[in-house]
Chain A
Amino acid sequence: MNRPSVYLDYAATTPVDPRVAACMAECLTREGAFGNPGSSSHDYGDAANERVEAARGQVAAAVGAAPGDIVWTSGATEANNLALFGIARYYQTQGRHLVTVRTEHKAVLDPCRELERSGWRVTYLEPDRTGLVDPARVADALRPDTVLVSVMQVNNEIGVIQDVAAIARLCAAHGGVRLHVDAAQSVGKCAVEFTRWGIDALSLSAHKAYGPKGVGALAVSRQRGVHLQALQLGGGQERGLRSGTVPTHQVVGMGAAFALAATEWRDEAPRIAQLRDRLWEGMAALGGVLRNGEADHTVAHLLNVSFADVEGESLLAAVRPFIAVSTGSACASAVREPSYVLRALGRDERLAESSLRFSLGRFSTVAEVELALTTVERAVRRLRRIGGRPP
């Protein structure tokens, strides 16, 4: 593999923080807490269980939840599936309608489509051109048979932050419609107040916050008496909501990562925002460059940009040897599909395809941003020249 020199795809995944890796390593080998945390018949199990419960407390604290709210999963995708199917199936006698947003992650949209196939009605809200959803639009969509609203807090492509606290208030005012929030991109990037805001279920991911892949959590509010039907049966772990041996090293890694995120994000965000702003100012000077998402309501680390008069696949191919970024198109086959998120914002097919998502992180530096900027400038100018448009 030709490793690109600059990693700017932190929204896809982050490297595990060395401090987190050290905690995880303590749970793997014979000398460490390797036992099955469900084995209460010996000290090995108890030692592992102690670590698991400490991690549960760390994750809960990072999002303003109670430790007992946290249900470990394999990641945010499983958490989203558990929340949507679990809540829908438990409360289906009260109604079969749910509300979500057109720009949600596929891990929410695909379960919604599956629920539609089994007779549910789903209202898909359109965001405005900045990617934000007016909470009043959510209120307008609520019906007597609505049992669930699902809205992501931070959009994974454009980084806009939805006002989930306001949406939670509206759901509560509408007879207690349950609110699920996909917060996979939120931890370490913005405030998350699960209990205080009145969220019923919250999906979390470790690897977006310098933790390991393969672990996540669903916070399910006990205080609000939220129930859901389990999707996975077996040993009855995690309050019976998610059977299966808890992977100690994974959840310990998630706990450590979330503890670091909770203490460091407020210091980290201004530095990263400065880097992002430098990147944007440099690219904007090229002309024919459009920023996707509302700049004033976007997390610090993410910048999504469309480049006019440049073909998307060629742009990615030109920058790929130097920087690792994501594009506004999905490679479903050899022919790329423009991002449904950018299309929902009103970007035409060409602009959606010619967008790049730059996501910076804890280890990003000024030198990396300058190299990225130079790379993009050269690629755009060159492709515009080849394409017959003035550079």
Chain B
Amino acid sequence: MTYNELTRRHFETAAHAGLLTGPGTRRGAAGSRAQGTWVQFDLLIGAVQVCATPVMGANRQLAGLSNQIESSSDSRDTLCAVRFQAFGCPHVIAVADWVAQQSEGSEARPALPESVAALALRFAVPTEKLGRLLLIEDAWIAALAPPSLP
């Protein structure tokens, strides 16, 4: 299996791998390790001005930051920090890392920064693996799904 340069770079660095904990964080996951692919996103959501807080280093725990976030369900809320965990092939890790990187600072909405088809092209993902990208999308949507009512 060969990978394009973008895939190799994100697979090798995986700068956004990690966890977020604390108030204001959302988590969504999809897939299963037993089936070969599992992805989880942690999102720290806050109002735009709060997200101007200095950027944390890669892989750093951002639990402290969440205390500074003005939590809101307003649609203009912004993704202050995004981290992922993934058990999967290099394409899965690379795409999840890229999604996390691209999403930080953008509006929190239940859609990937690009469609699965566009991601497949960008990362030269073989057709046989497209189902794995759909799991990344599922995990992302799960993280942004509205909290269920009590």
Would you call B89 and A314 a contact (CB within 8 A)?
Answer: yes
Choose one: B37, B40, B90; the contact of A388 (CB below 8 Å): B40
With contact pairs A386-B17, A388-B40 given, residues A311 and B1 touching in the complex (Cβ less than 8 Å): no
Choose one: A317, A336, A349, A387; the contact of B3 (CB below 8 Å): A317
Residues of chain A contacted by B88 (CB below 8 angstroms): 311, 314
Would you call B87 and A334 a contact (CB within 8 A)?
Answer: no
Residues of chain A contacted by B87 (CB below 8 angstroms): 309, 311, 386-389
Asked whether any CB of chain A lies closer than 8 Å to the CB of B47, the reply is no
Asked whether any CB of chain A lies closer than 8 Å to the CB of B79, the reply is no
With contact pairs A314-B11, A386-B14 given, residues A334 and B85 touching in the complex (Cβ less than 8 Å): no
C-beta contact mask, A219-247 vs B, less than 8 Å → 1, else 0? 00000000000000000000000000000
Majority secondary structure, B binding face: mixed
Asked whether any CB of chain A lies closer than 8 Å to the CB of B126, the reply is yes
Which of A317, A318, A389 has the most chain B CB within a 10 Å cutoff? A317
Q: Closest approach, in angstroms, between the C-beta of B48 and any C-beta of chain A? A: 30
Asked whether any CB of chain B lies closer than 8 Å to the CB of A285, the reply is no
Residues of chain B contacted by A311 (CB below 8 angstroms): 36-37, 87-89
Asked whether any CB of chain A lies closer than 8 Å to the CB of B5, the reply is no
Residues of chain B contacted by A335 (CB below 8 angstroms): 126, 128-129
| Complex alpha-carbon distance, A331 and B90, angstroms | 15
Residues of chain A contacted by B40 (CB below 8 angstroms): 388
| Complex alpha-carbon distance, A144 and B129, angstroms | 49
Choose one: B1, B11, B17; the contact of A334 (CB below 8 Å): B1
Asked whether any CB of chain A lies closer than 8 Å to the CB of B33, the reply is yes
Q: Closest approach, in angstroms, between the C-beta of A281 and any C-beta of chain B? A: 27
Would you call A350 and B34 a contact (CB within 8 A)?
Answer: yes
Asked whether any CB of chain B lies closer than 8 Å to the CB of A41, the reply is no
Asked whether any CB of chain A lies closer than 8 Å to the CB of B127, the reply is yes
Would you call B11 and A317 a contact (CB within 8 A)?
Answer: yes
Asked whether any CB of chain A lies closer than 8 Å to the CB of B93, the reply is yes
Asked whether any CB of chain B lies closer than 8 Å to the CB of A353, the reply is yes
| Complex alpha-carbon distance, A314 and B89, angstroms | 5
Asked whether any CB of chain B lies closer than 8 Å to the CB of A29, the reply is no
In B33-57, which residues have CB < 8 Å from any A CB?
33-34, 36-38, 40
Asked whether any CB of chain B lies closer than 8 Å to the CB of A137, the reply is no
Residues of chain B contacted by A382 (CB below 8 angstroms): 14
Q: Closest approach, in angstroms, between the C-beta of A339 and any C-beta of chain B? A: 15
| Complex alpha-carbon distance, A349 and B129, angstroms | 17
Residues of chain B contacted by A334 (CB below 8 angstroms): 1, 126-129
Residues of chain A contacted by B127 (CB below 8 angstroms): 334
Choose one: A350, A385, A386; the contact of B36 (CB below 8 Å): A350
| Complex alpha-carbon distance, A314 and B126, angstroms | 15
Residues of chain B contacted by A385 (CB below 8 angstroms): 17
Q: Which chain A residues have a beta carbon within 8 Å of chain B's beta carbons?
A: 309, 311, 313-314, 317-318, 331, 333-336, 349-350, 353, 382, 385-389
What are 22 A-B contacts defined by CB distance under 8 Å? Answer: A309-B87, A311-B36, A314-B88, A314-B89, A318-B11, A331-B1, A334-B1, A334-B127, A334-B129, A335-B126, A336-B1, A350-B34, A350-B36, A353-B36, A386-B14, A386-B87, A387-B33, A387-B38, A387-B86, A388-B19, A388-B38, A388-B87
List 19 other contacts, CB 8 Å, given A311-B89, A334-B126: A311-B37, A311-B87, A311-B88, A313-B89, A313-B90, A314-B11, A314-B90, A317-B1, A317-B3, A317-B89, A334-B127, A334-B128, A335-B128, A335-B129, A386-B17, A386-B85, A386-B87, A386-B93, A387-B87
- Give the 7 A-B residue pairs with the shortest CB-CB distance, closest first: A334-B126, A388-B85, A387-B87, A313-B89, A334-B128, A386-B17, A317-B90
